Amino acid sequence: MSKSFLTHLECPKCGKTYDPSQVQTVCTCGSPLLARYDLKKLGASVTKKDLAGRRTDMWRYREFLPVASEENIVSLGEGMTPILKTEGLGAALGLDNLYIKDEGLNPTGTFKARGASAGVSMAKQLGVKEVSMPTAGNAGGAWSSYGAKAGLETYIVMPEDAPDLAKKECYLAGAHTYLVKGLISDAGKIVGRAAKRYGFFDASTLKEPYRIEGKKTMGLEIAEQFGWEVPDVVLYPTGGGVGLIGIWKALEELEAIGWIGSKRPRMVSVQAEGCSPIVKAFNEGKKESVFFDGAQTLAGGVRVPKALGDFLVLDGVYKSGGTAVAVTDAEIVECLGITARTEGMYICPEGAAAVAATRKLYRDGWIKKNEKVVILNTGTGLKYPDIVAPRLPVLEVGGDIIVPEMAAGQ
């Protein structure tokens, strides 16, 4: 495999550039850094048709990714998740062209696998040995898993009330796993001090510049899977916001090489009412968000009171003519059930938040009946086993199913 087309890292706030052959974190101005490529050479090196016969994971887009040599790719088969036409759910909501991209089919069960695959591959390439990070749970599970495959030592700190399965993922993969009696922001401070004290690489969201490149592949796939015609609306549940930023970045790069035109989907940032800093900033027409006090929602993935990349999320939303919407936990649980009954999809609460937001925006007239709408379900519901607790009938051995409304022998 040829060298990557990566040329430098760039600060989207102040324009300062950084050398990608060195370990980098954030700009001296505090902003996250974005990977920049020689898009001219990139565009000349690959065609849409070339993709057809390639591996069916996100590394099919290797020219768009920062890893220089195949041997540094740390992959568990992430990406190329299906985009499913959800006719039953569409009918329930009133929409004719509703789709869900199911990120639950990734390794570790969430879209975090994409970021971890890109980030850990680059850590391997750059010779990093120890990585530490705060997490709401799923990113920690992903980085622990990819870290194990790459032979890295990982140090993970997450809230004590993070999902049990994420804790077990980290533990099983051999990560040094700590809980904190607080929020992800408290975990972040602990990681920051440990990174300084022990010389760990701090892979906090957007302090590490490459996970966004992994998540960008969601945007590449949306374009390829729809035959290089982007949909009208994309709804993304927003915690750290890297997924939304990544999709936006992918579409900009695809336009730059001429694979798509200037049309963009209207990007919708979806949050929970109990933690909606982006929605608040959007409603006030602000470019950045303010730390959201008392964050509380069952959708742990969007319980991020202040995202480092908030200004990039808002930028994508504004530029695309999009919007930002908050939904209640009750709506989340309701829409999780509706999606399961109509589509057989056991989605995560964050994905269910995006379903609820779709319903709301259609009722408000912001989404039209015939528009092509894509909901990102960011993970599998299997990682949230406590959302429902059914009491099921228990039969004795030799017992029988009785269906009152059905006559026997029909």
Span 12-31, contacts to its own copies by CB under 8 A? none
For residues 78 and 82, what is the distance between their CA atoms, to the nearest angstrom? 12
In DSSP notation, 36-48 reads: EE-HHHHHHH--T
Q: Is 70 in the site for its own copies (CB under 8 A)?
A: no
Window of 143-151, 251-259, 270-278, 368-376 that interacts with its own copies by CB under 8 A: 143-151
Window of 37-45, 183-191, 246-254, 303-311 that interacts with its own copies by CB under 8 A: 183-191
Helix locations, 126-183, DSSP H: 138-150, 164-172
163 Cβ partners below 8 Å, 6+ apart?
137, 138, 300, 383, 384
Q: Is 90 in the site for its own copies (CB under 8 A)?
A: no
C-alpha closest to that of 257 among 42, 67, 36, 6: 42
Q: Is 393 in the site for its own copies (CB under 8 A)?
A: yes
Query: Which of residues 157, 304, 325, 357 is near its own copies by CB under 8 A?
Result: 157
Q: Is 194 in the site for its own copies (CB under 8 A)?
A: yes
Tokens standing for residue 74: 């740390």
Helices 164-172, 138-150: inter-axial angle, 10-degree rounding = 10
Q: Is 105 in the site for its own copies (CB under 8 A)?
A: yes
Window of 24-32, 172-180, 236-244, 362-370 that interacts with its own copies by CB under 8 A: 172-180
C-alpha closest to that of 173 among 189, 186, 190, 156: 156
Q: Is 192 in the site for its own copies (CB under 8 A)?
A: no
Least distance from its own copies to the Cβ atom of residue 60, Å? 9
C-alpha closest to that of 217 among 107, 79, 26: 79
Q: Is 81 in the site for its own copies (CB under 8 A)?
A: yes
User: How far, rounded to the nearest angstrom, does the alpha carbon of residue 347 sit from its chain's CA centroid?
Assistant: 14
Element (H, E) at 114: helix 112-125
Query: Which of residues 168, 263, 287, 363 is near its own copies by CB under 8 A?
Result: 168
Window of 171-179, 203-211, 246-254, 274-282 that interacts with its own copies by CB under 8 A: 171-179
Q: Which of residues 117-136 bind its own copies (CB under 8 A)?
A: 132
Q: Is 71 in the site for its own copies (CB under 8 A)?
A: no
Q: Is 180 in the site for its own copies (CB under 8 A)?
A: yes
Q: Is 321 in the site for its own copies (CB under 8 A)?
A: no
For residues 306 and 392, what is the distance between their CA atoms, to the nearest angstrom? 41
Residue 101 vs 216, nearer CB to its own copies: 101
Tokens standing for residue 14: 């102040």
Query: Which of residues 40, 193, 263, 369 is near its own copies by CB under 8 A?
Result: 193
400 Cβ partners below 8 Å, 6+ apart?
none
Q: Which of residues 239-298 bind its own copies (CB under 8 A)?
A: none
Least distance from its own copies to the Cβ atom of residue 112, Å? 13
Helix locations, 182-241, DSSP H: 184-198, 211-225
Q: Which of residues 34-63 bind its own copies (CB under 8 A)?
A: 52-53, 56-57
Least distance from its own copies to the Cβ atom of residue 170, Å? 8
